[in-house]
Amino acid sequence: MTSLPASPGAKKLGLVIDLDICVGCHACAVNCKEWNAGGHSAPLTDLDPYGKDVDGVWFNRVHSFEAGDHDCGRTVHFPRSCLHCETPDCVTVCPTGASYKRAEDGIVLVNPDTCIGCKLCSWACPYGAREFDETDGVMKKCTLCIDRIYNETMEEVDRVPACVSTCPVSARHFGDLGDPESDVSRLVAARQGYDLMPELGYKPVNKYLPPRMPKRQAAPALMPSEEVAAKGFLAWLDRMLSR
Amino acid sequence: MSFLSPPDRVDLSVKTADEVKTTTCYMCACRCGIKVHLKDGQLRYIEGNRDHPVNKGVLCAKGSAGIMQHNSPARLRKPLLRTGERGSGEFREIEWAEALDLATGWLADIRKTDPRKLAFFTGRDQSQALTGWWASAFGTPNYAAHGGFCSVNMAAAGLYTIGGSFWEFGEPDWEHARYFLMFGVAEDHASNPIKIGLGKLKGRGAKFVSVNPVRTGYSAIADEWIGVKPGTDGMLVLALVHELLKADRIDADYLVRYTNAPWLVVRAPGTAGDGLFARDDKGRPLCWDKRTNAVGDALSAEVSPALAGTYRLADGREAIPSFQLLAERYLDPAYAPEKAAEVTGVSAETIRRIAAELAEVAFSETVTLDVPWTDWAGRRHQTMVGRPVAMHAMRGISAHANGFHTCRAIHMLQTLLGTIDVPGGFRYRPPYPRPAPPAVRPAGKPGQVAPGQAMKGPPLGFTTGPEDLLVEADGTPCRIDKAFSWEAPIAAHGLMHHVIRNAWAGDPYPIDTLFMYMANMSWNSAMNVPETMAMLTDKDSSGAYRIPHIIYSDAYASEMVSYADLVLPDTTYLERWDCVSLLDRPISDADGAADAIRQPVVTPDRDVRAFQDVVLDLGVRLGLPGMVNDDGSARYPGGYSDYLVRHERAPGIGSLAGWRGADGSSDGAGAPNPDQLKRYIDNGCFWQHELAPDQRYFKHANQSYLAYAKSVGFVGSTDPIILQLYVEPMQKFRLAAQGHGPVQPPDRLRARTEKFFDPLPIWYPPFEHETADGFPLSALTQRPMAMYHSWGSQNAWLRQIHGANRIYVGRRLGEREGIADDDWIWIESRLGRVKAQVRLMDGVNDETIWTWNAIGKRSGTWGLAKDAPESQRGFLLNHLIGDVLADGAPNADPVTGQAAWYDLRVRIGKADGPPVSEPQFQSLPRPPGATEPTGLLRYGARFRGRS
């Protein structure tokens, strides 16, 4: 089986996803697909792409569901990708060392040269974040766009995961969650960001920001104007108004 | 045993592109700036352009899937000539020379004899400045784009009321709004700007209220969802107006300064002047000036106008301020929340609360910007003060037979609160505002169309009364779609949805050639699809097709291709020059005018030509004025890109506003600049003129803005644009219906015209609702954010998100009807029935079912396998929607002719049989020469950067 880094660094790169403003537009999912189709884990194979049973490899998928009762309920759009856990079983179950966690930044990757396609890691991941490429016979997954975030051929402002840079509502944030002073850590603190299924003990690095409480404006009830009540439209008769 | 993983050889700095080219996205109507990364001449990656004013670097799912759109196996490859029966999909490939000769032959004969016999209609086209001009040069009034079945209600209601509109003509003040009210489905226009804006709005803690029968899309993140009954939004809005008037919570100062609320309306029932504005001998509207206690010039800054009272005009007639009519109307208990609750299904308590919230934010949370500005009368103001209530509406309001008035009602609500073009409110996007309505009249009256002649004027425009209608002396419509006739007097965008039926019926006259571009009129762009297909293929007693010729241009093998006699294959959006012009549907935002181009970033690998090039080529072959020199040679030999640079619509005004003047130093207006396209490319393929801070609000009455707008041709004068709460042109049509004036409606339309041409907003039940006994449910479509109309299904990535649509049924309704999740049901309307699979949900109005728009496909089309889920489990509601009502009248808004897609009424019941959607139509063959779709897609494998 595969070991986690013996002395992990302080840096924990990950995503913060704001469920308060995610409209479920799938921009993140498709831009991820587009970038990664030609990226580090290329290709992201699509089987039967124009046929009856189309099925492709996606590193990021958006699930939509409803929560709560009819009128008080809410439609939730929930983007799901690898959480780059601190203690993930998907790494430790790997029989070949192909699935590994980088010590320097915490990113969980798969080495396709040593992956034997046994799928143990996908069974171990409770978040369903691993994607098996049947054609290549290897497991693939979110790389946190490792070929973007350090890429010196790109402008610095572009060195973020594709899903973050494309998100129209700015519901996705990228940064070092190991640094309590980072923007993402502050955001998580301010908005009570949470771990997905913390009881499983994998210590996800990615965080989700919960929907804010709906605004219920405390507006005083409109009182009928005494003048309008008495005079109807003539209430406006005596006003001196200038252009 | 344990492995310590060996370091993966991750190449962290792969150079992903040899070249990055900018252009403009075309995956929807948003028109975002994109950067296309090319590697080895292939598309590696498309991302948003951070500098672009529309999307500021972001890109949606559709734009991000552009690679798959460009490489779609549904792309047409060569001109096609029909060989089998029309509709069979049997074609042979022909050369362009033959195709253009054929088209020229048909069109030249028409032009020589009766130019009206060409009906030229474009679908998702965004080069209407070109195609409309072409139609005028050809001499046919029978031209329009697809606005009549899209959102003409929004455009017309806005342009006649505030001289602007939601849509692409205006936007909420995302930076300052504190309260945002959104009506109906709005996910398919300005989609990235709205998403960017919603993120800002919610981040700032503003309240977002969504009024929509369905809690999908943007409604999902609303602070409050109001699941209104479809088609009743207008009543809800009028009840809000009732509450605000009753509580005297309206902005009377704003009304007096910027609207026609104080203009005097003549009260002389039974006479030809009744309900029109009182005017002086120069035609200027009058008010009652309380300073002088006399009639005054309503446009003068020096009056103190009355908003109520009865006054005597010099000619002895009685007149009252239009505001009084408004207040009388909506203070009536008929608009009380209790009444509205019965209609809308929204509780009176909720309506009262929303009204109170609107008032509270508008009047207690005013936004003040420390920006001095000068108003139209030259008066200096030290600050810009606004009421931070913003609203937005689009298709969900538009696609009802009462949509024009409902949209007017929303603009009235905005105006009464004083929120039009103020900080925190609704903001115009230049070139808007324009005078309400804009001063363009449609051409095509009797005498304006003649063989071999150009038509002097544009085919589309804004009627201001019966004298502007395009009708014969006996009232017969002049246009094949009956736009600007008594059927649809304010049909500002034309009525493409009536063309096929009218052409088939020869009503008002037969045509020869139907020439269409990018309009899937035999499928998801048609109402009553089965009958439409039958009309396209119907023959007369001599065995000839009743619509003799159909020419169709598209880039892809859509359902419509099979109904053409001649197919002209278009390029993809990455292969051509294009223009997003201020003369057309601009990409400006509220802070400045903007336009853009597309440049070819890859070369076609097929024998295809850009439609715009083909149109100009046909113009040369036909010798159309403006397209040829005196010797008959092409005026724009370089094609569309040549035209973009050198064509001038008026001196100094061309397709593109940036870098004009011989040296490129002029903005907005100036002589053609031969290097203009290069300047655009150097700037990321767009141009933007940022307004000065003091020009950014109150544009309708802002001296500095109006002077700028006049200098670049957006408006004809620097006069303030007065918001029209009371729309006088409506009254003119009504007066005609009452028997006044020389241009009279046919008797059968008299009562209808009188009823619906109310100069103040009204609400009435959609026609289909009134006559739909036994069909208790509304059936609607919503717009999936990851798909645009029918385009997405050919896209290998997007179809994995929306591959087959379900019919969504409320859980309570499902229980009542004994319908469970995954059941198959019949959805039945008065026209027929459709079989679909159910998904139960909570967030939907109890009397409404819905599905995603345009996911269902006809088997064999769009490059998909015959058994693709799009055709086997996907479905269209279109089959159930009548283009005409049971009595034969159009299923349309009586004011604008807008197609009333969202008025569909149905009943549902469980269905047996195989799990396949119905109806199924004969599978269509792949066009000859089409690429066989791959069974395995490994796009990007070649780019893999690992060393």
Q: Which tens digits make up the pLDDT trace of A165-196?
A: 999 999 999 999 999 999 999 999 999 999 99
pLDDT score of B947: 39
Q: Percent of chain B beyond pLDDT 70? A: 99
CA distances from A189 to A10, A81, A186, B326, B829 (A): 18, 22, 5, 52, 53
The two tokens of residue A178 are 């190991």
Q: Encode pLDDT of B558-576 as tens digits.
A: 999 999 999 999 999 999 9
Q: Which of A64, A169, A187 to mutate to test the interface with B (most CBs of B within 10 A)?
A: A169
Strands B549-554 and B513-517: parallel
Do B937 and A21 make contact, defined as CB atoms within 8 angstroms? no
Q: Which of A3, A33, A34 to mutate to test the interface with B (most CBs of B within 10 A)?
A: A34
Do B794 and A51 make contact, defined as CB atoms within 8 angstroms? no
Non-local (6+) Cβ contacts of B415 within 8 A are B161, B162, B254, B255, B258, B259, B723, B725
In B178-197, the residues whose Cβ lies within 8 Å of chain A are 179, 191-192, 195-196
Tell me if B594 sits within 8 A of B687, measured CB to CB: yes
For B52-58, what is the mean pLDDT? 97
Q: Which residues of A touch B306 (CB under 8 A)?
A: 237
Non-local (6+) Cβ contacts of B812 within 8 A are A70, B846
pLDDT at B2 over 90: no
Residue B8 pLDDT level (bands cut at 50, 70, 90): low
End-to-end CA distance of chain B: 30
pLDDT score of B946: 47
Q: Which of B42, B64, B225 to mutate to test the interface with A (most CBs of A within 10 A)?
A: B64
Contact B799/A at CB under 8 A: yes
| Cα–Cα distance measured from residue B884 to residue B895, given in angstroms and rounded to the nearest whole number | 15
Do A219 and B301 make contact, defined as CB atoms within 8 angstroms? no
pLDDT score of B186: 86
Of B567, B641, B797, B564, the residue nearest B27 (C-alpha) = B797
Residue of B nearest to A227 (CA): B248
DSSP-derived letter for residue B487 is T
Q: Which residues of A touch B802 (CB under 8 A)?
A: none
- A198 Cα to chain B: minimum distance (Å): 25
- B424 Cα to chain A: minimum distance (Å): 17
pLDDT score of A149: 98
Nearest beta carbon to residue B796 from set A54, A76, A166: A54
Q: Which region among A39-53, A88-102, B526-540, B932-946 has the lowest average model confidence (pLDDT)?
A: B932-946
pLDDT score of B7: 62
The two tokens of residue B570 are 């278009």
Q: Encode pLDDT of A74-132 as tens digits.
A: 899 999 999 999 999 999 999 999 999 999 999 999 999 999 999 999 999 999 999 99
pLDDT score of B189: 81
The two tokens of residue B18 are 């040899």
Of B353, B199, B209, the residue nearest A169 (C-alpha) = B199
- A179 Cα to chain B: minimum distance (Å): 22
pLDDT at B6 over 80: no
| Cα–Cα distance measured from residue B679 to residue B685, given in angstroms and rounded to the nearest whole number | 8
pLDDT score of A68: 79
Structural domain boundaries enclosing A41: 13-209
Residue B771 pLDDT level (bands cut at 50, 70, 90): confident
CA distances from B799 to B736, B796, B855 (A): 52, 6, 9
Nearest beta carbon to residue A45 from set B60, B800, B937: B937
pLDDT score of A74: 86
In B293-332, the residues whose Cβ lies within 8 Å of chain A are 300-309, 323-324, 327-328, 331
pLDDT score of B3: 64
Whether A144 maps to a domain, the answer reads yes
Whether A226 maps to a domain, the answer reads no
Strands A74-80 and A61-67: antiparallel
What's the number of domains chain A is made of? Answer: 1
pLDDT at B772 over 90: no
| Cα–Cα distance measured from residue B700 to residue B263, given in angstroms and rounded to the nearest whole number | 17
3-state helix, strand, coil in chain A (%, to 5): 20, 20, 60
Whether A149 maps to a domain, the answer reads yes
Strands (E), B420-508: 426-428
- B198 Cα to chain A: minimum distance (Å): 7
Residue of A nearest to B190 (CA): A168
Nearest beta carbon to residue B223 from set A153, A214, A239: A214
Do B248 and A228 make contact, defined as CB atoms within 8 angstroms? yes
Do B12 and A147 make contact, defined as CB atoms within 8 angstroms? yes
Residue of B nearest to A48 (CA): B935
Tell me if B513 sits within 8 A of B551, measured CB to CB: yes
How many other β-carbons are positioned within 10 Å of the β-carbon of residue B820? 12
Whether A42 maps to a domain, the answer reads yes
Contact B808/A at CB under 8 A: no
Of B844, B421, B184, B781, the residue nearest B194 (C-alpha) = B184
Helix and strand numbers (H, E) in chain A are 7, 11
Phi, psi of B844 (to 5 degrees): -150, 140
SS3 A46: strand
The amino acid present at B53, given as its one-letter code, is P
Non-local (6+) Cβ contacts of B857 within 8 A are B523, B559, B790, B793, B864, B868, B870, B871, B874
| Cα–Cα distance measured from residue B339 to residue B763, given in angstroms and rounded to the nearest whole number | 12
| Cα–Cα distance measured from residue A62 to residue A171, given in angstroms and rounded to the nearest whole number | 13
The two tokens of residue B21 are 């080219």
Residue B97 buriedness (CB in 10 A; 0-12 / 13-18 / 19+): exposed
**Partners of B210 in the beta sheet?**
B182, B225
Averaged pLDDT score across all residues of chain A: 95
| Cα–Cα distance measured from residue B221 to residue B209, given in angstroms and rounded to the nearest whole number | 9
- Rounded to two decimals, the ipTM of the complex is 0.97
| Cα–Cα distance measured from residue A226 to residue B145, given in angstroms and rounded to the nearest whole number | 51
Phi, psi of B766 (to 5 degrees): -55, 145
Q: Which of B3, B806, B812 to mutate to test the interface with A (most CBs of A within 10 A)?
A: B3
- A13 Cα to chain B: minimum distance (Å): 15
Q: Which residues of A touch B331 (CB under 8 A)?
A: 228, 232-233
Q: Which region among A28-32, A183-187, B164-168, B457-461 has the lowest average model confidence (pLDDT)?
A: B164-168
For A198-213, what is the mean pLDDT? 96
Whether A164 maps to a domain, the answer reads yes
Tell me if B31 sits within 8 A of B49, measured CB to CB: no
Whether the model pTM is above 0.95: yes
- B449 Cα to chain A: minimum distance (Å): 46
Tell me if B301 sits within 8 A of B701, measured CB to CB: no
**A-to-B residue pairs, Cβ atoms closer than 8 angstroms:** 356
Phi, psi of B875 (to 5 degrees): -155, 165
Nearest beta carbon to residue B195 from set A40, A135, A168: A168
Q: Encode pLDDT of A32-41 as tens digits.
A: 999 999 999 9
Strands (E), B137-282: 143-144, 170-172, 179-183, 207-211, 224-226, 264-267
- Check which CATH number belongs to the domain holding A147 and give it: 3.30.70.20
Judged by phi (left if over 0) then psi (alpha if -120 to 50, else beta), residue B102 lies in alpha
The two tokens of residue B160 are 């006649």
pLDDT score of A15: 98
pLDDT score of B5: 55
Nearest beta carbon to residue A34 from set B64, B207, B801: B64
DSSP string covering B691-725: PPGGGSS-GGGBHHHHHHHHHTTSSSS-----B-S
DSSP-derived letter for residue B116 is G
Rg of chain B (C-alpha set): 28
Do B940 and A1 make contact, defined as CB atoms within 8 angstroms? no
Do A166 and B48 make contact, defined as CB atoms within 8 angstroms? yes
**Partners of B267 in the beta sheet?**
B318
Nearest beta carbon to residue B356 from set A22, A169, A221: A221
Do B199 and A241 make contact, defined as CB atoms within 8 angstroms? no
Do A74 and B943 make contact, defined as CB atoms within 8 angstroms? no
Residue of B nearest to A26 (CA): B61
Residue B931 pLDDT level (bands cut at 50, 70, 90): confident
The two tokens of residue B289 are 């000036």
pLDDT at B509 over 80: yes
Do A52 and B865 make contact, defined as CB atoms within 8 angstroms? yes
For B652-669, what is the mean pLDDT? 96
Q: Which region among B57-66, B184-193, B463-472, B879-888 has the lowest average model confidence (pLDDT)?
A: B184-193
Averaged pLDDT score across all residues of chain B: 96
